[in-house]
Amino acid sequence: MQVRPIRTQEDYKAMLAAVSALIDLDPEPDSPEGERLEVLVGVPEPVAH
């Protein structure tokens, strides 16, 4: 699993798209996709400065 920092709004939108695609797959929790989803949903929402 490749994890990259979210630095821009575009990065954040890409992460949301990845989460959406993974949710649609409904992966098993122990699968690579399930583990990636678990990691991505733990990413906090950005705060506007």
Q: Give tens-digit pLDDT for 2-30.
A: 778 889 999 989 989 999 999 999 999 99
Long-range contacts formed by 6-13: CB under 8 A, 24+ apart: 6/43, 6/46, 9/46, 12/46
For residue 39, what are the contacts with CB-CB under 8 A and spacing of at least 6?
1, 3
DSSP classification of residue 43: S
Average of per-residue pLDDT across 29-48? 84
DSSP classification of residue 39: H
> What pLDDT score does 48 carry?
67
Model's pTM, two decimal places? 0.75
pLDDT at 45 over 80: no
